[in-house]
């Protein structure tokens, strides 16, 4: 029997502490996403509008995208960065992984403008500033470049003047891991669940997908079954995951935070 466990996510750069001005923060984010693009030999790119938690829009998302695009154009002449100011806004939320059609529309938008890669991102308001996460993906297929970069942008008078609407904050204080400046938790002690007698007798193989809260102390909090398979395997997966110990996610200020993450537990029998 093989039980494979995937804690969904990608490697992240260490969150940076808040600089005193916005320009160094934007430049730092641009430099780190540029390094990810450079390693993949990606040159022709556009920056999509950033979105808040649950795909919420706010003028700060366009502002951050514009500033990032300007920084990439100015400081990294080796890239062909399509000027956002001359283009229509992207029509949807590219960070909504639960709605693939939105991501497809954003990629189609990028392709129509001649971009082979699109930089996507998310943000949220924290007491210390605005947490930002950036990644890059191909506009032609489903592949994403390895690596996500995070940072903290100071809250300035210029940003405050963008809108009277409050900048989106984490709902119930918890973000999805890997978004809006957070990293992904990593396993410290994650024992595999047991194969149930019913599933073994039925020679059943499949995957249980859970959505869990990993608290700031690395302990597992709330658990929700997103995809169950029955035969006692759902219960087995939940029982095992409840006892996991993880290295917690970090917020944009570098301190541990609670995050929501998907966990896929795949049950396979030996031939």
Q: In whole angstroms, what is the distance from residue 219 CA to residue 191 CA?
A: 14
Residue pointed to by tokens 């939320």: 93
Measuring CA to CA, how many Å separate 257 from each of 71, 148, 180, 260, 264? 29, 17, 12, 10, 22
Question: What's the pLDDT at 54?
Answer: 82
Q: In whole angstroms, what is the distance from residue 200 CA to residue 4 CA?
A: 16
Residue 69: strand, helix, or coil: helix
Which residues in the chain come in under a pLDDT of 50?
1-3, 10-20, 97
pLDDT by residue (tens digit) across 25-64?
Answer: 999 999 999 999 999 898 899 999 999 988 889 999 999 9
Q: In whole angstroms, what is the distance from residue 37 CA to residue 35 CA?
A: 5
Question: What's the pLDDT at 20?
Answer: 43
The answer for residues whose C-beta is within 8 angstroms of residue 36's C-beta and 6 or more apart is: 135, 136, 145, 146, 147, 149
Question: What's the pLDDT at 95?
Answer: 54
Rg (CA), the chain: 20
Strand partners, 120: 135
Residue pointed to by tokens 């992904």: 184
Question: What's the pLDDT at 55?
Answer: 86
pTM, entire model: 0.81
Helices (H) then strands (E): counts for the chain = 6, 14
The structural domains of the chain, ordered by start, are 2-9+184-268 (3.30.2420.10), 22-176 (3.40.50.10610)
């Amino acid at each position: 029997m093989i039980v494979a466990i995937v804690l969904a996510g990608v490697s992240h750069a260490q969150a940076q502490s808040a600089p005193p001005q916005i320009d160094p923060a934007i430049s730092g984010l641009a430099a780190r996403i540029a390094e990810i693009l450079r390693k993949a030999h990606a040159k022709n790119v556009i920056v999509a509008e950033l979105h808040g938690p649950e795909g919420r829009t706010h003028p700060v998302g366009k502002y951050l995208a514009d500033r990032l695009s300007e920084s990439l154009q100015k400081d990294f002449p080796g890239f062909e960065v399509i000027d956002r100011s001359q283009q229509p806004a992207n029509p949807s939320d590219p960070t909504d992984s639960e709605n693939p059609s939105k991501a497809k529309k954003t990629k189609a938008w990028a392709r129509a403008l001649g971009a082979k890669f699109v930089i996507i991102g998310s943000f949220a308001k924290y007491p210390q500033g605005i947490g930002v996460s950036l990644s890059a993906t191909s506009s032609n297929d489903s592949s994403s470049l390895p690596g996500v970069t995070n940072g903290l942008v100071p809250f300035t008078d210029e940003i405050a003047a963008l809108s009277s609407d409050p900048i989106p904050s984490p709902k119930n204080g918890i973000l999805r891991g890997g978004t809006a400046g957070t990293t992904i938790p990593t396993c410290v002690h994650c024992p595999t669940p047991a194969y149930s007698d019913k599933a073994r007798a039925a020679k059943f193989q499949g995957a249980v997908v859970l959505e869990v809260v990993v608290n700031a102390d690395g302990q597992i909090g709330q658990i929700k079954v997103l995809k169950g398979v029955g035969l006692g395997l759902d219960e087995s997966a939940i029982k095992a995951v409840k006892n996991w110990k993880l290295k917690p996610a970090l917020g944009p200020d570098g301190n541990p935070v609670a995050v929501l993450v998907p966990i896929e537990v795949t049950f396979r029998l030996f031939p």
